[in-house]
Structures are given as C-alpha cells and as structure tokens.
Structure 1
Amino acid sequence: MTPRRPPARVLVAVPLAVLLAFVVPRPSPAAARAADSRHDVVTWAASADRLGDGVADRAYRLVVRTSVGGDDLRIRLTNAFGDRPVTFDSVRAGIRRQGAALVPGSNRRLLFGGSPAVTVPAGTTVTSDALPGRLPAATDLVVSLHSPDAAGPASGHGMAMQTSYLAQGDHTAEEGADAWSATTGSWFYLDSVSVRADASTGAVAALGDSITDGWQSTSGLDRRWPDYLARRLRRADTAVQGVANEGISGNKVLADGAGQSALNRLERDVLTQPGVRTVFLFEGVNDIKAHSRVTAQDMIAGYREILRRAHAAGRCVVGATVAPFKGWSEWDPAAESVRQDVNAFIRDSGEFDAVTDFDRVLRSPYDHERILPFFDGGDHLHPDDKGMQAMADAVDLEALDCA
C-alpha cells in the first residue's frame, strides 16, 4: 500500500480560539491547585552545533512546530559552542500567520529570572521563565530574539528544513514581516521548547543523523519521520505526545565531526530535555560507511554505553536497525558486513527495551542491501517523504511508553 501523503499545510491566520488559548493567562485556581500533578514536557527540540560566527545587533525570527500541547511555555537558549558569553536583550514568542508575519496580539515577551534580558555563559544553556497561557499541539510557534553583542562561534541547528527570518536591529516586538527581509535555513541559539502538561504525559527523543534530521524530505512541510510520528501520536492520544528531533546531519555514534558524537551529546540533547521518557536510537550509518575502520564490536560498545547511561537516568531505549545504503558512494561490501552484524545485535540481543526494524521497512525485496526505489530520495541513502512516513508508521507506539 502506498503511504498516504498529508496535504500541504496552508499558512493562514490561526483561528481565534487558538490565538486566545495562547495569549490569555491561565485563570483557574483549580488548575493552580493541581500544579503538583503536572510537569514540563519538551514539545520541540533541535540539537545544537557550531554555526559560524554570531553577528552583533542581529535579530532572528525562528519558526518551529510544536508536538505536544500544554501551558506555561518555556524555551531553552544555547551557547553550547560559544567561546564567550552572549546576551539576548529581547526574546518573544508568538504564533505564525504567514511567512515572517505573526498573528496580531500573539507576540509576547519572555523573561529570564524576571528580567527581559539574559546573558548565557559560554558552553551553557539557559531556560526562560514560564509564559502563562495555553500553547496547542501542531502550532507554528515563532521565537524572535535579538542579541546586541553576539560574536565568536554561534550555536544552533544548521539544517532546519524550515525557513526562518533575519533582521538587523531589534525588531522582535514587531508582528509584521516588513523588517524580516532576509531568510535562513538554520535555527540560531534556540534548542528546545517545553510546555506544562499532565504528569502522565511524556516525550520521545529521536537521537540520530541526517535521516532523522529530515534530509531529502520536503522542506517547510514538516515531513521528517519524527514529524509523521508526532502526527500518529496525536491521533492515537497516547501518553507519549512530545517528540524531540535530536538528529544532526552527518552525525556519528562514536566520533565527533558533524556535531558532537551521540555519546558526547546524549546528556545535553536528550537526557536533560524535560519529560523525555524514551530515547529512540537510530544512528550508525555514518560510522559504518567505507574506510571508517569501525567494527561491529566498536558500534555495539557504543550502543551499550548509550543504553547504560539512558537506563541509569530512568529512560527506556528503542533501538532502530541501520537502513540500507547500497548505491551511496561510500558503500562497499565490508561496510555492508558491519551493518548486517550491527543489525543482528539490535534485533536479537534483547538489550534494547524495544526494536523498530527500519532496515526491513525501507529495503528493496529484490536487493536487501538497497533502499526500495519507491522510498529513495535520490541518493540511495536518504528516504523521501513516502519513506519518512513509512518509517514513522512502523514504530510501535506502545513501545514508546515502556515505563
């Protein structure tokens, strides 16, 4: 059966009910009394890496898509790869109307320890105060921020597969699009958004590489496989509702390069994200590709270290098999042999809390070393939109809630 392609999202004004849900502070004393039964859950995330040098007096209007809905939005700003402090003197959150324009009345200031300005030391992250009000699931949230002094290495996520906007000078309070004439395909300084939700609500963090990051999916339409998974979770009304996409294009399990390795970024990108109940580990092809000299035992040792640390932190781990990539320039029989041995460990070791077999989902029935042409994004490694949806459809939703 051909996977169903969702209709393209049309960017129009948000219905008044959604707008009011976001901008009106919570009024209910009963909700306040029940606060001890609620907790923060990540609704969007993107792993940070170095993004070149920061620019002083630049503003960013960053467009992200929420997964789980809730109250009391918080954002986390990152200077993880900076070599000096960076100050943000204006940070706001609003709802997108179209392009860089916001729904009128939705753009609200975020505070940090009660102050509108915050300085983030080099190598750290900072989380905002809660912004009262309801933020629905599947919302185009816009975070606008301005730094008067950014310089040196900037931190953020390089391959957003989403258009965001730039302006020179502080235009963060403006809801119109006039000042935001430049665009960017990266998310600068923002690495997660969380909301307050019922204590039974959790999130899954997808730890991966370019396939998880969404390369070869349609840009701007949220067709990465974690996006399709978020849609399935909403329809199923499961306890796990939040989805944090912690993929970095080119990333490896064992070695730094395109971002810090999965081992080195596990704590910051996954284990410190609020409400994460399950780690979905789908990574390894960049370690395995030809001439890497990485063995199956090397990979298994890396997976076991992630398992050990995630379990010690009280998280479940779903392992996903490494997908086929014959036809990609770095494929060779030796690399394929390592992939097969690694996949046998993931499937059969019993060390993961659950397994999703992306290899079997994506491979051609005529050549198991190749991706099915129907799912091939064109380079024989990355799935297209149809392949991304097939991957998400293969995830056992109950396995994501293995507490």
Structure 2
Amino acid sequence: MRAARLTGAAVLAAVFLVPAAPAPAAPADTHSVVTWGASADRIGDGAPDRAYRLVVRTSAGGDDLRVRLSNAFGDRPLTLDSVWAGTRETGARLVAGSNRRLTFGGARSVTIPAGGTVYSDALPGRLPAGADLVVSLHSPDAAGPATGHGMAMQTSYTAQGDHTAEEGAENWTGTTGSWFYLDAVTVRTPARTGAVAALGDSITDGWQSSGDLNRRWPDYLARRLERAGSDIRGVANEGISGNKVLADGAGQSALNRLDRDVLSLPGVRTVFLFEGVNDLKADSGVTTADLIAGYRQVIARAHAADMCVVGATIAPFKGWCEWNAAAEAVREGVNEFVRTSGDFDAFTDFDRILRSPYDPARMLPVFDGGDHLHPSDKGMQAMADAVDLSALDCDRTSP
C-alpha cells in the first residue's frame, strides 16, 4: 500500500506544476473555472512571521492554476512575501519536485488592501481533478483581524518562520483546522466546462462528516460529476457553519456575502442554494414569507449574473435542541415554495431524501450524524446522489 501511494504521488508530480517555459496566450476556446472555494470570514487575529501550509481538494482539472487570496475582513493591508503551490504526498510533506513559487504581477510579494482580494499569476502546468493541492504562504507582519475559513474539516499545517519553499514536513510542526487567507483556486479549462457553487450553512460546510476524508456532500457531488463526464466539473463549497440567509451572525448572511463568495467566482454556471434552517429555528420570528423573500433576492441576483439557481428543500431536524412546532411549520411552508413555485430553475428535495417515513419532521437514523440536524457520511452521500446532474448544466446566456 505504501508503494501504491508513492506511485500515485509520482503520477501527480509528472502532470502537475511541472516547470515550463513562459506560457503562450491562452486559447480563445478556454476560460477560467473555480476548482476549489471556501467562504471567507473573520477567524481570529493574524500572527507575524507565521506560515501556513493549506491542504485543499480540487474538483475540475485544468491548466494554469491561480489562487485567490483574501483580506476581506482585515482592517489593515496584509503582506504575503512568499506563496508556493505543490501537491501533497502525506501529512505536510509534498511530492518531490512539485512545489513552485507563485507570483503576483511578476513579483514574489503581494500586499492586499483591507477588504480586498488578489489573484496570483497563472502557474503553467496541469492540475488534475481530485488532487490534494497544497498552498503554502507566509506573512512577515500579519496583525489584526485574519480572513479565512474556520471549519475546514481538513488538517492543514503551521510553522514559525518562512518554510514555504520546503517540500519536507520537518518544520511544519503545528496543525490547524482552518484555511487562512485562501478562498479560491481556479484553473483554465475548455470553454464548455462550468462550475456549481453550493451556498449553504454547516451541512454544506461538512459538519459531522469525517474529517480529512472529503465526505462533505459537495465532495461527493464533485466525484459524481467527474465520473459522469459532465461539463460541470468545478464545485465550490461556499458553506459557513451557523450561517443564515437573512441575518449576519456566523459569517455575513448569504445575501451579504453572495457577490464575493459566489457571483465573483469564474466559470460558475449554477448556484445551488441550500440554506435556511438557521433562520427559522429557535423562535427566531422569521416567517415563511421572510425566507421566501430572501430566496427570491438570491435568485434575482444570480439570474442577473446569467447564472441558474437550483434550490433545495430544508432537511428535517426534529430532535435538535432548537426544533419546535413553529419552526417546523415554517420549514414545511418554505419547502412547499421550493417544490412548487417555479422560481428556481430546478430543485433537489433533500427533505424527501433524508426524512424518516415514520416521522417526516425527523431525519432517518441511518443518515443522522448523531445530533438530528447534520447528516452522517451516508447522509451526505445520499444528498449528493439525489442531485440531478443535468439540472446543474444550465446556461441562461443561451438564446
């Protein structure tokens, strides 16, 4: 098994981030598509002379990798003086020869203004689908609010001092369950290839799925799309644990983060909206009409950006501490809207897939991650299997 893992790693090294001559102009029949994404939020304070080795899983394969770095929640400029990308062998160790420096307008260092984002220059070479991409970055003087994604469900690594160019794991002795400063990775693909962005809360973020195994429902969806040979290959997971459609709290609301986290991502053809349970639970006072109005705003803004919107029914959560009959009534009313209004371009009925036939307000035990709100790995896979892949391959720009 050890030999098999090394053989697979060698294959990745052969096709990904191989040093190349200056790239020619991109062909006109290609475009940029997001292959990984994670919603930005404030995650504590920045630390000077700290390096992060961030592990992410790609969806769409393609050429000319670029990373998007974010200082969206910073209150001062953020300088990153060394950023590298490679593929992982195991733990914090990279495949030999895969680690390469990223530049920004030709420079090795970049300063991102408070509230801003920046893309790296394209890195010539092929990045496969389903690869463990590792982005290593260092800031000499980070301070103040740090931007990133708190609940990664993936172990990444930290070091004191700049060890970003190293492929070994010796100096990467710390671990973190968050992604710092990185919120998107893109590749160049044939123009027919598109992506879907999953806008959601902790269920989309992957809570109660198995950590470090990529078993969030969008991960299962990405693997289905790849196996099916769909023109939709990119999957961006834009879930935030505790997030709401209507109100800020655990991250900015879906309405307030929609532009940055979804509409700005290249190649997104379809928005998959699965959110609302945090709005309606715990005697929040949010009505069916309130949540429907929020959904309609997401739909209108996505349509204005020539994107389709697939809606999902809110899953059952009886047994969770904040469930009550009033919240259940709102959930049922919202789900009826999702199924019958025709406002969405398509819908997926997660409620029907996950609910118990004996008590429709409760999740089927085999899919329950244990808290009666978040699905298990089996539940996550059942959700992904329920998605009509053809509904994701939508193009509102066609005549």
Does the pair score TM above 0.5? yes
Question: How far does residue 150 in structure 1 lie from its aligned partner after superposition?
Answer: 0.3
Q: Is residue 48 from structure 1 mapped to residue 40 from structure 2 by the alignment?
A: yes
Offset of residue 218 of structure 1: 0.2
The amino acid across from 1:19 in the alignment is A
User: Which of 85, 93, 99 is equivalent to 2:77?
Assistant: 85
1:242 shift after superposition: 0.3
Are positions 1:137 and 2:138 aligned together?
A: no
Once residues 89 and 401 of structure 1 are traced to their aligned partners in structure 2, the CA distance between those partners, rounded to angstroms, is 39
How much has 1:246 moved relative to structure 2? Answer: 0.1
Report the CA distance between 1:256 and its aligned residue.
Answer: 0.3
1:23 Cα deviation (Å)?
2.8
Question: How far is 1:28 from its partner?
Answer: 11
Separation in 1 of the partners of 2:164 and 2:170? 12
Q: Does 1:69 align with 2:61?
A: yes
Structure 2 counterpart of 1:146, one-letter code: H
Is 1:17 aligned to 2:11, yes or no? yes
* Equivalence for 1:399: 391
Q: 2:280 aligns with which of 281, 288, 306?
A: 288
Q: Which runs of 5+ in 2 are unaligned?
A: none
**Which residue of the partner structure matches residue 228 of structure 1?**
220
Which residue of 2 is the match for residue 237 of structure 1?
229
CA drift of 1:12 comes to: 4.7
Mapped pair 1:210 → 2:206: no
Q: Which residue of 2 aligns with 1:6?
A: none
Tell me if structure 2 keeps the 8 A contact 1:26–1:134: no
What CA deviation, in whole Å up to 9, does each residue of 1:331-365 have, x standing for no partner? 00000000000000010000000000000000001
What amino acid does structure 2 have at the position aligned with 1:126?
Answer: V
Partner of 1:4: none
Query: For 2:229 and 2:242, how far apart are their aligned partners in 1?
Result: 33
Paired with 2:7 and 2:256, the residues of 1 have a C-alpha distance of 41
1:102-117 to structure 2, matched below 5 A, reads 102-117=94-109
Measured against aligned partners, the alpha-carbon deviations of 1:162-217 in whole angstroms (never above 9, x if no partner) come to: 00000000000010000000100000000000000000000000000000000000
Change in 2 beyond 3 A, CA 1:13/1:149: farther
1:308 aligns with 2:275: no
Which residue, out of 326, 342, 351, partners 2:334? 342
C-alpha separation in 1, matches of 2:42 and 2:306: 30
State the 1:17 CA deviation: 3.2
For residues 361-383 of structure 1, give each alpha carbon's deviation from its aligned partner in whole angstroms, at most 9, with x where no partner exists.
00001000000000000000000
1:389 maps onto 2:381 in alignment: yes
Return the letter of the residue paired with 2:225: L
Shift of 1:24: 2.6
Deviation at 1:253, TM superposition (A): 0.1
CA contact (8 A) 1:26 1:132 kept: yes
Matched, 1:257 2:246: no
Partner of 2:151: 159
CA shift for structure 1 position 20: 1.7
**Amino acid aligned to 2:161:** G
CA contact (8 A) 1:13 1:103 kept: no
SS at the partner of 2:28?
helix
Q: Deviations over 1:47-68 (max 9, x none)?
A: 0100100000000000000000
- In the alignment, the residues of structure 2 paired with residue 130 and residue 175 of structure 1 have an alpha-carbon distance, to the nearest angstrom, of 21
Q: Distance in 2 between matches of 1:349 and 1:80?
A: 35
Tell me if structure 1 keeps the 8 A contact 2:12–2:87.
no
Tell me, in whole angstroms, the C-alpha distance in 1 between the residues paired with 2:222 and 2:18: 26
CA contact (8 A) 2:205 2:239 kept: yes
Cα offset for 1:21?
1.2
Residue 189 (1) aligns with residue 217 (2) = no
How many Å apart are 1:402 and its aligned residue? 1.6
Match of 2:376, as an amino acid?
D
Q: Give the letter aligned to residue 245 of structure 2.
A: V
Report the RMSD for the aligned CA atoms in angstroms: 1.3
Distance change >3 Å, CA 174–CA 389, structure 1 → 2: same
Aligned letter for 2:251?
G
Equivalent position of 1:358 in the other structure: 350
The normalised TM-score by structure 2 is 0.96
Aligned mates of 1:15, 1:180 — CA distance in 2: 20
Counterpart selection for 1:120 from 104, 112, 127? 112
* Cα drift, residue 22 of structure 1: 1.1
Q: Is the contact made by 2:17 and 2:123 (CA closer than 8 Å) also made in structure 1?
A: no
Report the counterpart of residue 325 of structure 1 in structure 2. 317
Q: Which residue of 1 aligns with 2:265?
A: 273
